[in-house]
Copies of this chain bind each other. A is one copy, B any other.
């Protein structure tokens, strides 16, 4: 079985590097039908779909499995974005639940600690699944928390430590917000081909697709910019072109 990283990069070769963040407000009805219709309409311009609590909380596991199966039918990968950061036992049970629901990868927060992260990656890879860890987020507040100066063996910023841990734990990719292109550049240079870089925050949050792709982002995570557009297909197509421009 191919790894998550390979599966994702293969579909990205033809479809481009846009990942749909399918995040709807609780006011939106028929979440399952809407998401499936999005996949059917937008799949030629996507390599993956990312689901967050927006869908994971209101929908049943059967409904989420149905969404993941639809994505797979069109060759897309699926990512559960729960920013997991728990004790070993809970991480294990949580990912078992996610794999049962058909997900290909999970987003986790390395704040759980390096040993916990290593265990998570080991068990995910054994199941042909992927782990993506937060390195630096897209929100403006991330400057305070993820840029925090820390000291373990050496003095560094928190995101530098998280990058080191991502490399040491052999995770598949890291999240670095599209709103911090300089940090993308730093991580891309240091990680080389060992880690894929996933960047949310393009569009609505202020990130620029071409700029972050040049900085070293491998995948653009885009939600509201596509979902709230008058013609979502046109926006997805444009972003696909930007993502393939590299």
**Are A139's CB and B116's CB within 8 A?**
yes
Interface size on A, residues (CB 8 A): 58
Q: Render A186-227 as a binary contact track against B, CB cut-off 8 A, 1 for contact.
A: 000000000000001000010000000000000000001000
Known: A52-B90, A90-B23, A151-B151. A57 touches B145 (CB 8 A): no
Does A87 lie within 8 Å of B57, measured CB to CB?
no
Does A238 lie at the interface of the complex (its beta carbon under 8 Å from any beta carbon of B)? Answer: no
Residues of B within 8 A of A54 (CB): 90, 93-94, 97
Chain B residues closer than 8 Å to A200, beta-carbon distance:
87
Task: Choose, from A10-18, A78-86, A122-130, the stretch at the interface.
Answer: A78-86
Nearest neighbor of A161 in chain B, beta-carbon distance: B148
Given A109-B85, A144-B113, A148-B150, A93 contacting B139 (CB threshold 8 A): no
Residue of B nearest to A80 (CB): B57
Once the chains are docked, how many angstroms separate the CA of A60 from the CA of B56?
A: 9
Do A94 and B53 have beta carbons less than 8 Å apart?
yes
Within 8 Å CB of A101, what residues of B? 57
* CB closest residue in chain B, given A165: B145
Query: Which of B26, B88, B134, B145 is close to A96, meaning CB atoms less than 8 Å apart?
Result: B26
A126 to chain B, nearest CB (A): 16
Which of B52, B86, B114, B140 meets A86, CB within 8 Å? B52
Q: Which residues of B contact A137 (CB under 8 A)?
A: 87, 112
Residues of A within 8 A of B (CB): 23, 25-26, 52-54, 56-61, 63, 82-90, 93-94, 96-98, 100-101, 109-116, 134, 137-146, 148-152, 158, 161, 200, 205, 224
Q: List 20 A-B contacts (CB under 8 A).
A: A23-B90, A25-B93, A26-B100, A52-B94, A53-B82, A53-B86, A53-B90, A56-B57, A87-B200, A87-B205, A89-B224, A110-B145, A111-B146, A112-B137, A113-B139, A115-B140, A116-B139, A144-B152, A148-B151, A151-B151
4 closest A-B pairs by beta carbon, nearest first, are A113-B141, A60-B60, A53-B94, A57-B97
